[in-house]
Structures are given as structure tokens and as C-alpha cells.
Amino acid sequence: MISKKKSLDYYPDFQNGETILIDKPLKMSSFRVIEKVRKIINFGKIGHAGTLDPLATGLLILCTGNKTKEIEKFQNLKKVYSGIITLGQYSDSFDLETEVNQFPIPDDIDEQNIFRVAKKFIGQIEQLPPMYSAIKKNGKRLYHLARRGKEVERKPRKILIYDFVINKIELPDIHFTIECSKGTYIRSIADDFGKALRTRAILSSLRRNSIGEFDVRDAFQLTELSELFSNGNLN
């Protein structure tokens, strides 16, 4: 395990398999992160245990070599996210990636209504995957189709929301923390949340705090990882 939590006093065996915790920066794709890590550690076979959108930050678990066989184990773990849902706005991507449009906010939205709606999302629910997602349809990523203005039929998926906490309300912004299962699209939660309040909403900020027992506080920034592997810092 290559993380801040565990001192690295040996040179890792990437072929046999290592797990690397990375804190993904804003506006960088998960695939771009992998490209940079490949160069830093000078090793090619790297996989990730769940992507993050370019506009999201937080924990990425990377596996190298033989450890890539264990990726599914990490993918199936619970995930915790924190972020901001902004009411009264709408975009095709449900976040800030595409053009944002304004939408009326009812006058009767208050804290009581917001907390009441949040409780409705807890438990097993069905979620329609967004068009702006990496899911494949006939061999093509949905987000490639969405960027060309195309929309295709998707089937709802069952997901599990273990907890949905409203941390702070500064309308139109709602700060939250969600603990959820594999396959949950937080952008879709934001869109559905707005609709439940008789308006629209986008996900204006998102950070993945943890995956199972792995915490973003133990993850390396790319610059920190580069420094670790440069200038003979490892034996």
C-alpha cells in the first residue's frame, strides 16, 4: 500500500502488485491521473477502482500489476462523498460541465422540506444513469453520445444510499454528505433532489472522502507522489 498512512521504506514491486491512494485534483480526468502516475513510477500496467468526473476531487484507488485482479473488490466497497447541490439551476450533465440554465425556486422551500426530501433518498432506490456517464451502449460511452446531442434509452439501476446528511443550508446551496453503494451517480441524486423540491438542481461541487476503510486524508497529491519517487527517495 502506497499511502501517507504507511511509511514506504522499500522500493515497491509494481509487477507483483501495489495499491496507490491518490487525491485526484480538480479538472483532471481519472484516466489522465493514471497517465501521470505511469510516468512517475515508470510502470505501465495500472487500473483504477472507480473513476471520478473531471470536476470532482478526492480519493482514487489505483492498482498495479497483479493487483489489478483485485480491482472489483475495491469497487464493491461503500463510498462516502461530500459536496454541494445548487437549487434553481439545470444542465444537461447535471453539473457544471455543460451550460447552466436558471430554473424557478418555489417560495415555500425551507429547511424542513429539504431535510424531509433527503430522508426519502435513504435506502434502496432506483436510479436512471445519466447520459453524461462512462456506461457503454452498443460499445460506445454514453458521454460521447451526449456530447453529440444524442440520448439513448437507459434502464434504471438499483443502488443503496446508506446515509444522506445535510450539513449546511445556504440557499440556493445545500452542503451534504452521502454514503452510498457502487454505481451511485451523485449528479443524478442532485437532479432528482431538485425535482423532489419542485425545482431543478445541479451538483456544483463533489469530493470523494473514502472508499471502504481507505480515506482521502491518506492519499498522495500527484506532486507529492512525484517527489517520493524522485531523487532517490526510495531504496
In this structure, is residue 10 part of a structural domain?
no
In order of 4, 51, 66, 235, the CA distances from 214 in angstroms are: 11, 15, 20, 26
The residue count of the chain comes to 235
Q: What is the DSSP string of 136-168?
A: EETTEEHHHHHHTT-------EEEEEEEEEEEE
The pLDDT of residue 233: 65
Indicate whether 235 pLDDT > 60.
no
**Residue 203 falls within a domain, yes or no?**
yes
Position 105 in a domain? yes
CA nearest to 114, candidates 58, 187, 198, 188: 198
Write the pLDDT tens digit of every residue in 147-172.
777 777 788 899 999 999 999 999 99
| pLDDT on residue 151 | 74
CATH number of the domain encompassing residue 47: 3.30.70
Query: 132: pLDDT confidence band, cut at 50, 70 and 90?
Result: confident
Give a yes or no: residue 188 inside a domain: yes
Please tell me whether residues 46 and 123 are part of one structural domain. Answer: no
> How many domains does the chain fold into?
2
Coil, helix or strand at residue 198: coil
Residue pLDDT, tens place only, 82-111? 999 999 999 999 999 999 999 999 999 999
pLDDT grade, residue 10 (50/70/90)?
confident
- Residues taking part in catalysis: 53
61 versus 134: which is more confidently predicted?
A: 61
| 122 lies in the same domain as 137 | yes
For residue 5, the model assigns a pLDDT of 84
Query: For position 144, what pLDDT does the model report?
Result: 75
Query: 3-state SS of the chain: helix, strand, coil percent to 5?
Result: 25, 35, 40
Residue 123 and residue 161 in contact, taking contact as beta carbons nearer than 8 Å: yes
By residue range, what is the domain housing residue 223? 19-76+213-228
Least reliable range by pLDDT among 35-39, 137-141, 177-181: 137-141
Report the percentage of the chain scoring pLDDT > 70: 97
pLDDT over 90 percentage in the chain: 79
pLDDT at 232 over 70: no
Average pLDDT over every residue of 177-196? 96
